[in-house]
């Protein structure tokens, strides 16, 4: 009697599944090498969000701190010394400082007052737009190294900045 799992079709399915898993492993490993997204806003100050990011990510692991108005003062050149010290600790620990491009566009944040290295992030494009090419997650001119690789963190970031 022949084993049903040894048919050529079953072998093809098993090989296809193995190939799919092999392709997904590098993405999963990349996302695990990355810390989370911490948002200064919605009841959390910049210092609270930054300190949480610092405490939850091993030294050297990238993580992301998004500051929403009015929690953006620490990201400015005129930040108080204590806020600037927290900001500098985030950067020294491989954290990426983010603001929403829409907040710059609507005048809530003056881009000229931000310290160098702060990244402005766009939200989702409007429905039907081809600003993000089909099958892609990033705008063509974005530096992917400055944004989360993990789908959930990138989705939360774009949703917050929309």
What would the pLDDT profile of 101-142 be if each residue is shown by its tens digit? 999 999 999 999 999 999 999 999 998 899 998 889 999 999
- Tell me the pTM: 0.78
- CATH architecture assigned to 34-160: 3-Layer(aba) Sandwich (3.40)
What would the pLDDT profile of 21-79 be if each residue is shown by its tens digit? 344 434 444 445 789 999 999 899 999 999 999 999 977 899 999 999 999 999 999 99
Residue 38 near residue 50, CB atoms below 8 Å: yes
Torsion of CA 61, 151, 64, 23, to 10 degrees: 20
């Amino acid at each position: 009697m022949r084993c049903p799992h040894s048919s050529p079709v079953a072998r093809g399915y098993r090989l296809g599944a193995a190939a799919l898993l092999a392709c997904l492993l590098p993405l999963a490993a990349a996302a695990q090498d990355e810390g989370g997204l911490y948002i200064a806003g919605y009841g959390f100050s910049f210092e609270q969000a930054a300190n949480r990011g610092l405490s939850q990510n091993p030294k050297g692991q990238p993580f992301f701190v998004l500051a929403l108005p009015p929690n953006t003062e620490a990201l400015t050149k005129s930040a108080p010394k204590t806020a600037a010290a927290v900001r500098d600790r985030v950067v020294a620990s491989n954290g990426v400082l983010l603001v929403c491009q829409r907040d710059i566009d609507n005048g809530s944040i003056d881009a000229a007052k931000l310290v160098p290295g702060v990244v402005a992030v766009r939200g989702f494009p409007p429905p039907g737009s081809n600003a993000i090419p089909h099958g892609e997650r990033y705008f063509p001119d974005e530096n992917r190294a400055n944004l989360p690789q993990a789908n959930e963190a990138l989705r939360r970031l774009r949703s917050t900045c929309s």
